[in-house]
Amino acid sequence: MLNFQRLRGNGNCDSGAVAAKLVHPGRKVVAATGDGGFMMNCQELETALRVGTPFVTLIFNDGGYGLIEWKQQNQFGTSSYVRFGNPDFVKFAGKVWGLKATALNLQLILFPYLKLPWLKMYLL
Ligand SMILES: Cc1ncc(C[n+]2csc(CCOP(=O)(O)OP(=O)(O)O)c2C)c(N)n1
Ligand SMILES: [Mg+2]
């Protein structure tokens, strides 16, 4: 697993997935990223199409820099300049790049599993 989480650089997820797929063409690759990180480097989808490295991108869309908001709230009791609008990701992937895309309600899907301690640890 390539881990770009926490305070490491955002925007490496799809380029990391391209690299992972180049190194392990026979393995399935999933790029899990925040919406902010995805939008910083979404042009890497063109790289993936050009070099032919298929993978799944999972975008956690909260309409903001969630981690930064959380840190600002903790430290200052308020937050600023952390909310933004996104394109419709399904249209963006499908109409712009010709990729298959679906919107999932992960809150509903993950909710029953959040009680599992190992998953909680992983998500934190
Ligand atoms: C290139 C870069 N710019 C800024 C940051 C600072 N930063 C750390 S986490 C974060 C928020 C990322 O937002 P998003 O990808 O939407 O994830 P979320 O926290 O909302 O889950 C930012 C801006 C960084 N790590 N790398
Ligand atoms: Mg976000």
Instruction: Kindly state the helix (H) or strand (E) to which residue 48 belongs, with its residue range.
Output: helix 44-51
Provide DSSP, 61-118.
--SB-HHHHHHHHHHHS---S-B-----HHHIIIIIH--------HHHHHGGGGGSHH
Pocket flag, ligand 1, residue 65 (CB < 6 Å): yes
Q: What's the pTM?
A: 0.87
End-to-end CA distance of the chain: 16
Using most ligand atoms within 8 A of CB, pick from 14, 68, 84 the residue to mutate for ligand 1: 68
Q: How confident is the model at residue 5 (pLDDT cuts 50, 70, 90)?
A: low
Instruction: Kindly state the helix (H) or strand (E) to which residue 37 belongs, with its residue range.
Output: helix 35-40
| 60 three-class SS | strand
Pocket flag, ligand 1, residue 36 (CB < 6 Å): yes
3 pLDDT above the threshold of 80: no
CA-CA distance, 120 to 100, in Å (whole number)? Answer: 30
Name all domains of the chain by residue range, CATH numbers in brackets: 13-121 (3.40.50.970)
Six-digit token string for 92 = 């963006």
pLDDT per residue over 50-71, tens digit each?
A: 999 999 999 999 999 999 999 9
Q: How confident is the model at residue 13 (pLDDT cuts 50, 70, 90)?
A: very high
Pocket flag, ligand 1, residue 37 (CB < 6 Å): yes
